[in-house]
Structure 1
Amino acid sequence: MSKIIFITGASKGFGKLWAEAFLKRGDKVAATARNTAALQDLVAIYGDNILPVKLDVTNRNEVLEAVNHIEKHFGNIDVLINNAGFGLFGTTEETSEAEARQQMETNFFGSLWVTQAVLPIFRKQKSGHIVQISSFLGLTTLPLLGLYNASKFAVEGLIETISTEVAHLGIKATLIEPNGYATDWAGASAAQTSAEIEDYAPVRKAFAETGENPEIWGKPEATIAPILEVVDSENPPLRLLLGKIAFQAMEQVYAQRLKDIETWKAVSIAAHG
């Protein structure tokens, strides 16, 4: 049975790739972008099965209007894929107030506004699936991405909380946590790089050298089957890592966290009083 999929940030990268995959198999897709001209190639192929919607997710009123338009056009929404976002590169000290606020406005508040706008439809239907594109950097961190890391940590807490609030209504939630992929995320989609402080040059150098290893970048096309599987699952996971780097990193991170917790167990228990 075909589904009605609502994807934000669908002009390029994962968003456009997944939108086309859903359309190819016969789903209907509401695809949002700041510039819908980037979606006209899909319109030419899939016609009325795709609804391009101009949307800036940081504008809450615009989000509410867009969701209302999508519901009226398709009749309902089965799956929300919160994909809109960008990466801000720079150390935490280098990040300006404006840059920090824009990062959180897009990656965190944008997801919040869209989710809040869709939830009344899901509640009315007693069904729906929130698929939030996070990152493995919502579970651990890398230098030079402090505000991006923070935005994804915030998104993780938000969606996990929502999942406990809406489960009794038949609504599901999944956090998708990719490692780096060979999209334009580190290029055009990463709209900002903070002004540099020379003392952090060694950190930037080490970060750049890591990125030169082709093995760390996943193939975007390989994510299509996992996303389709998650969307079609009767019991989707709360979290799904995408990519071998994410999997290996989280194995190491959680092993160390559990070790630290156990080492300091007596202190932790004594602190209860």
Structure 2
Amino acid sequence: MNTKIWLITGISSGLGKALAEAVVKKGDFMIGTFRKKSQVDNFNKKNIKNTAAFLLDITDQKKIEEIIETITSQFGKIDVLVNNAGIGFVGAIEETSLDEVRNVFEPNFFGTLKLTQAVLPHMRNQKSGHIIQISSHGGIKAFAGFGIYNASKFALEGFSEALAQEVSPFGIKVTLVEPGPFRTKFAGNGLGLSQNTIDAYSDTAGVFRTKLKGVDGKQEGDPVKASNAIINLVYSEQPTLRMPLGKTALITIQMKLDSVQSDLNTHQKIAKNSVY
């Protein structure tokens, strides 16, 4: 069979919804998750060919294990896992409470990690699979006012980079998709804001907060084009570990690489002389 079975989290809107629709259009089987039962029921009532929807809050680790067992029992396998569900958050580091930090890390890191761990035994048994981690250009380069979100995506990038090396012998591939700004609800209803604000950060984190809210719905990235790019990557013979999406992502990631290279050049002699 040339078709694949996809599991995509968070298909109610944005990139998740666009990718789910693109997968169905291609003719593959799409299993999607929603956080609300009404969304699941409405989706399943449509009886769209080659689809199924399940209720899942990725912060519920017990539910994750149950869902994966149900899906693999019912459909036999999962060829592609897309960890798309997550949240955005804006606030200066000093402004942000630990509870707010945990609320970001639960879906963006811990939930994604747990779902990845739950799928891996099945992919190892079938000796194939592809895990798509929806990261961000903010998973490579940090921005003032975005530090907690950046930290959650940096963490995602770190474990996924190691994971790719660990599972390669089993025929499992891992790709970090790193979009720049896309026309989704990320900068709208999907964006969390620190409850505390400190005037001293108005020219740094405050500017970013205002700018991000102002571009909602006007971002350069097209979720449909991004979805097709992800599908093409999955079907390519040698998918890469990272895939930036959008002009802004290319610019910001290159800025990070240039910054790191500059620091390496500056401290190269000191680093070499520090070895005893």
- Which band: TM-score by shorter chain? over 0.9
- Aligned position for 1:270: 273
- Aligned position for 2:164: 163
- Aligned position for 1:236: 239
Local SS of the residue matching 2:203:
helix
- Aligned position for 1:255: 258
C-alpha distance in structure 2 between counterparts of 1:261 and 1:191, whole Å:
35
Unaligned runs of 5+ in 2: none
C-alpha distance in structure 2 between counterparts of 1:193 and 1:219, whole Å:
28
| Cα deviation code 1:77-99 (max 9, x no counterpart) | 00000001001111111111111
2:110 is the counterpart of 1:80: no
- Equivalenced residue count is 273
C-alpha distance in structure 2 between counterparts of 1:125 and 1:95, whole Å:
43
Local SS of the residue matching 1:47:
coil
C-alpha distance in structure 1 between counterparts of 2:138 and 2:65, whole Å:
29
Q: CA deviation at 1:58?
A: 1.2
C-alpha distance in structure 1 between counterparts of 2:210 and 2:114, whole Å:
37
2:235 is the counterpart of 1:227: no
C-alpha distance in structure 2 between counterparts of 1:191 and 1:201, whole Å:
17
Contact 2:90-2:191 within 8 A present in 1 as well? yes
Contact 2:28-2:50 within 8 A present in 1 as well? yes
C-alpha distance in structure 2 between counterparts of 1:61 and 1:48, whole Å:
29
- Aligned position for 1:30: 31
Superposition pairs of residues 136-151 of structure 1, within 5 angstroms: 136-151=137-152
Local SS of the residue matching 1:264:
helix
2:198 is the counterpart of 1:197: yes
Q: CA deviation at 1:217?
A: 3.1
Q: 1:182 to 1:216 in 2, by over 3 A?
A: closer
C-alpha distance in structure 2 between counterparts of 1:163 and 1:46, whole Å:
36
| Cα deviation code 1:138-161 (max 9, x no counterpart) | 111111111100000000001000
Q: State the Cα RMSD in Å.
A: 1.8
C-alpha distance in structure 1 between counterparts of 2:129 and 2:80, whole Å:
6
Unaligned runs of 5+ in 1: none
- Percent identity between matched residues is 39
| Cα deviation code 1:203-252 (max 9, x no counterpart) | 24532564457985322222122111111112100000000011012222
Superposition pairs of residues 34-49 of structure 1, within 5 angstroms: 34-38=35-39, 42-47=43-48, 49=50
TM-score by length of 1: 0.94
The one-letter amino acid paired with 1:184 is K
